[in-house]
Structure 1
């Protein structure tokens, strides 16, 4: 199995729960580099016990975000429609911030 295929499998396993009927898309790998911290209209509900964060987009437009972990690693870049929320699980690592990508 190629290195990219393993990464895509891991990325698919990252998204745990979709909580709305609006589409969520993974951005291409080239777009996955984190930028600045996501604006306040991207809500974050971090649950350290389950190693997950629920993200919501209430910015009035489509937004692309990634979760940055304390060790510097990131989740894939997710493109979220407005009024959409979902939960990202990040294994045994520690949440640092949510960034635009």
Structure 2
């Protein structure tokens, strides 16, 4: 794995390290929301994973700082998006109706948002 990691940088390296260290599947990783990372307990909550089941897996301690930097960057982008009238994310099932403003709240934002 170290040889693979040596060929990656930035966000791709962080994602690969999280996949390897937490045992996440690719789509589970890409669908992580801010609220799914528990830095105090070193856990990642996987929601609606394989078989539509939730599970908890380990968050490697070595990834805490890089993930926190990623979240700082994402929060900055989210604030800019909100100022421009964007910044809403998809909410599963009936959550959008139950919590009308949740789609713009920080905890519901993606850890690895796309452009």
Q: Could you state the TM-score of these two structures normalised by the residue count of structure 2?
A: 0.24
| Larger strand percent | 1
Larger Rg: 1 or 2?
Answer: 2
| Larger helix percent | 2
Of structures 1 and 2, the one scoring higher in RCO (CA 8 A, sep 6+) is: 1
